[in-house]
Amino acid sequence: MSISLWKIEHIGLPASDPTSLANWYVRVLDGTVKWSDAVVPLFFVEIPGPLVLEIGPCGRVVADVRDNSVAGIRHFALRVNSIDTAREELARRGVIFSEEPKPAGGGGRVLFFTDPEGNLLHLVERPSDAVL
């Protein structure tokens, strides 16, 4: 099998409150619940892009999931045409930004924020001639 045939289907996102976190991704990032199991609770939420998140219960919570220097998946980036426009809209939806945009690796700008469980996300704005 050629690796070029692979594509990411979903990313697992354990949560202390899966229902609330799934609802946040629906409300704030225009997500759609594609499948759920109320007994577990487990949700497959698709956010535009598309990116599918499997949000389910966690067994334990680590000290700080926002520490981008710890090994493992620590954030996911949402590409936007304008960080300023996206920031204004997300702020209207209740997102709090604790820092200003900064230069992005590969060109452009990034702006970090967190979901209610403290998971790190960021907006990324790239120039039209960016490599990525």
Q: What digits encode the pLDDT tens for the residues 80-103?
A: 999 999 999 999 999 999 999 999
Instruction: State the residue for tokens 């998140």.
Output: 53
CATH 3.30.720.120 in the chain, residues?
1-61
CATH 3.10.180.10 in the chain, residues?
63-132
Architecture in CATH of 1-61 = 2-Layer Sandwich (3.30)
Rg (CA), the chain: 16
Residue 2 — very low, low, confident or very high, per pLDDT cuts 50/70/90? low
Question: What's the predicted TM-score (pTM) here?
Answer: 0.91
* Mean pLDDT value across residues 106-112: 96
Closest CA to 78 of 14, 20, 11, 1: 11
- Rounded to an integer, what distance in angstroms lies between the CA atom of residue 18 and that of residue 13? 9
What percent of the chain lies above the pLDDT cut of 90?
76
Task: Tell me the three state secondary structure of residue 127.
Answer: coil
Q: Domain 63-132 adopts which CATH fold?
A: 2,3-Dihydroxybiphenyl 1,2-Dioxygenase; domain 1 (3.10.180)
Q: What is the DSSP letter of 3?
A: G
Under 8 Å between Cβ of 40 and 83: no
